[in-house]
Amino acid sequence: MTSILLIDEDLEFISQIEDYLEKEGFWVHIEAEANRGIALARNYGFVILNALTPLPTLQSIREQSSLPVLMLTTREDDAERICALEMGADDYVAKSCTARELLARIRAILRRTRINPLLDTPLDAVVSGSLAMWPQQRRAERRGKPLSLTSTEFSLLEVLLRQVGRPVSKGELSERALGRPHAPRERSVDVHLSSVRQKLGTHWDGRPLIQTIHRRGYLLLKE
């Protein structure tokens, strides 16, 4: 049973979500106070976050843990959502969404955080040059140094590594790594891969290891 920490001051809303998720087999703890939620986060397997100050709260959680975090947002514009993804949120969803959509997002994140059957994950490492990933352990390193990746970043990089040297479309990346179809104007893949690109560093010739191929998607360079 996955334990979920739900950080939100809106007690009426989160009580309804708590009831629904518990009926679906999750164990849910509600925390209305952000600082208390930060202190408790490492004891849970999943966080749903809609604090009064969501981005500082997310940053504090990320400083101590890489556990999956789903952001709820009430804003119509993309600014906060993009910032949340850049800071390490695994996904975001409008607070006005249905409970079924929220559940689907949670399950999609959990599938890719664990072993994603769509990736046909083997027990051994997946390697290209100095980049190596161990999918079963959710562990990655480059040039012998560990890579600190969120669960979503790990899944996206794994898809690219398994098809190293050829472009992978945003649609395929979204389907295989995020567990959902790519929506028009959706920027989750772009934002997450921007973070991965920074963490990986450059190719031996100075180019970013992950290349953007116009109208074709993303390509991980062979080393």
Q: Is the same domain home to 28 and 41?
A: yes
User: Residue 21 has what pLDDT?
Assistant: 93
For residue 5, how many other CB atoms are within 10 A of its CB?
23
Query: Of 113, 148, 179, which closes a domain?
Result: 113
Q: Which domain holds residue 52?
A: 3-113
Q: Is the same domain home to 89 and 178?
A: no
User: Residue 120 has what pLDDT?
Assistant: 42
* Residue position matching structure tokens 């074709």: 216
User: Residue 76 has what pLDDT?
Assistant: 67
In which residue ranges of the chain is pLDDT below 70? Answer: 1, 76-77, 114-124
Assign residue 142 the CATH number of its domain. 1.10.10.10
Assign residue 20 the CATH number of its domain. 3.40.50.2300
Q: Which residues contact 77 (CB under 8 A, 6 or more apart)?
A: none
Q: Is the same domain home to 197 and 131?
A: yes
DSSP assignment, residue 133? E
Q: How far apart are CA 178 and CA 188, in angstroms?
A: 9
Q: Is the distance from CB of 65 to CB of 41 less than 8 angstroms?
A: yes
For residue 32, how many other CB atoms are within 10 A of its CB?
15
Number of helical H runs and strand E runs in the chain: 8, 11
The number of folded domains in the chain is 2
Please choose, from the candidates 135, 106, 116, 139, the residue with its C-alpha nearest in 3D space to the C-alpha of residue 27: 106
Q: Is the same domain home to 91 and 125?
A: no
Query: Of 84, 113, 142, which closes a domain?
Result: 113
Q: How far apart are CA 210 and CA 183, in angstroms?
A: 22
User: Residue 118 has what pLDDT?
Assistant: 43
Q: Is the same domain home to 172 and 211?
A: yes
Query: Of 78, 113, 148, which closes a domain?
Result: 113
User: Residue 198 has what pLDDT?
Assistant: 94
Q: Which two tokens stand for residue 18?
A: 């708590």
The separation between CA 60 and the C-alpha centre of its own chain, rounded to angstroms, equals: 16
Q: Is the distance from CB of 139 to CB of 157 less than 8 angstroms?
A: no
